Chain A
Amino acid sequence: MAIIQIPDQCKDPFSFESVIALYQQIITQKAGGLDLSRVSFIDPYSLVCLLLMGRNYLRVTGDKLTLHHLPAHILQYAVRMDFFKHNIFACEQTLEKQKQLQRSQLSSRLLEVIEIPGKEKESVKVIAKVIATFRKRALIILKHWFTMTMVDYLVTVISEICQNIFEHSLDSGFIAIQSYMYLNERIFRIAIVDSGIGIPGSFENMPEITTMSNAKLLESVLTTPLSSKRRYGYGLCQVNAIMEQLKGSIFLRSENAYISVLYHRRVAKGSYIFLKDDCPHFPGTQFSITLIG
């Protein structure tokens, strides 16, 4: 069983596509583990997607995937984000208590990885907890963007996307939030992911929809009140409208397609919506909501 080398492509949803390209190999060849020695930085989206990979591996093989050669700072970050608390990965390294990143209020520019259950009642409780924690830490997390109205809108975004997990994915998912500096840019990112049936899967019984390419379908769910369960679905339309107002960006991936909407780069006549089909297959739906500036 080979150990698969993870490239240093865990910086954002676009670069993480190179890691997703290894997913089939990891599952079908029953990889012996993942070597993270080349990873120099990992963002919250890549972290929760890695968690999904490990969970899928565990479900398919019954074994935990082992992580090898984690650079010390990546291990510190993963522990700080409660990455290992979900009991999905085995890790050959341990982090001594004195080397662990502190959990003081001032260092709380993040929301640790939390599992969003797949059942309504449990999920509503967890979403309430996520929102309460986010509100409590918002002043620190959103330091450079903070207004009460901004927090209110982001609360709506979190709640809309998290609800889609138990309503449509038929699986549980994960959320992580963090603000950080990367290449002199301030970044705030919410990552909400699941490995359920995906958006194309949830529209399977709607023939008028299934003729679209998957990327086009992702665009439609963001721009029109489509729902696979009701006459109308407002949730993702609201997320899109709010992110347009906040001049943020949305990265939405499902199965083998993604859409990226970059409102912060929107200029007259310039393109700001990018669709891509024929990406490597990765089950479920993955969201990244970003503010840059």
Chain B
Amino acid sequence: MVVEIKKLATSVSVTRKSTDLFTRYVGKLLFQKIQEKLTHLCEHEVVIIDFDGIRSVDASFVDECIVPLLDLSHTNAIPFYIKLSNITDNVEYIIHQVIGMVGEHKRYIVMTDRLCKNGCHALGSILDVENDIIEYCVINKQATPEDIASFLHIPPDKALDMLMSLYEIRAVRKIHTDNIFYSI
């Protein structure tokens, strides 16, 4: 599913002609609109949030729109994944800062369609070793714990734990009960 955020923003009076998404007010409204679109989700579907036409966002918007969306992807009965596309440097920077900062108990990672300034296709609080795993999955499209174990020179059970933890925060996809993990 592709959610064109610019199109959604045109239905909100204050952002109708704007290339910027700002304030908690706009964030809440757009989150509701995205949520309405998610009612017909398929299991393990990747929801692409397309930022084409959006130049900048602010932390309040991210806190009210992107963070709850990531929360929902972690807890929803039907598992789904979020991927951001066509983001500007500003959007990348603000989202990375905000979701990298949120909560000591809660951790967020969001996938993007580009190699970001942190050297990864994902934003948020990412450990170096997780960065390597995510990039391995992006390049090879899929990975097993054995692949990761041999790539990182770690035991397969540790590799499985790491992949599972990335799956729980929806940074990699796991479709079947087998231990194959896919890139988002």
Could you tell me which A residues sit within 8 Å of B by CB distance?
Answer: 120-121, 124-125, 127-128, 131-132, 135, 148-149, 151-153, 155-156, 159-160, 163, 167, 225, 231-232, 234-235, 237-238, 241-242
Cα-based distance from A163 to B101 in the complex (angstroms):
20
Could you tell me which B residues sit within 8 Å of A by CB distance?
Answer: 14-15, 17-20, 22-26, 55-60, 62-63, 88-90, 93-94, 97-98, 101-103
Q: Are B94 and A156 in contact (CB under 8 A)?
A: yes
What A residues does B56 contact at CB under 8 A? 152-153, 155-156
Q: Are A120 and B88 in contact (CB under 8 A)?
A: no
- The interface residues of chain A, by DSSP majority, are classed as helix
Which one of B57, B62, B101 contacts A237 once the chains associate, using CB atoms below 8 Å?
B101
- Given A155-B55, A225-B101, A234-B59: A125 and B90 within 8 A (CB)? no
Sorted from nearest, which 3 A-B pairs have the closest CB atoms? A152-B90, A234-B59, A159-B22
What B residues does A121 contact at CB under 8 A? 25
Q: A149-B90, A163-B24 are in contact. List 6 more A-B contacts (CB 8 A).
A: A152-B20, A152-B55, A159-B22, A234-B59, A238-B58, A242-B93
B71 to chain A, nearest CB (A): 13
Task: For A154, give the chain B residue with the smallest CB separation.
Answer: B56
Q: Are A235 and B19 in contact (CB under 8 A)?
A: no
Q: Are A128 and B98 in contact (CB under 8 A)?
A: no
Q: Are B59 and A160 in contact (CB under 8 A)?
A: yes
B32 to chain A, nearest CB (A): 16
What A residues does B26 contact at CB under 8 A? 124
- Given A124-B14, A225-B101, A238-B94: A131 and B63 within 8 A (CB)? no
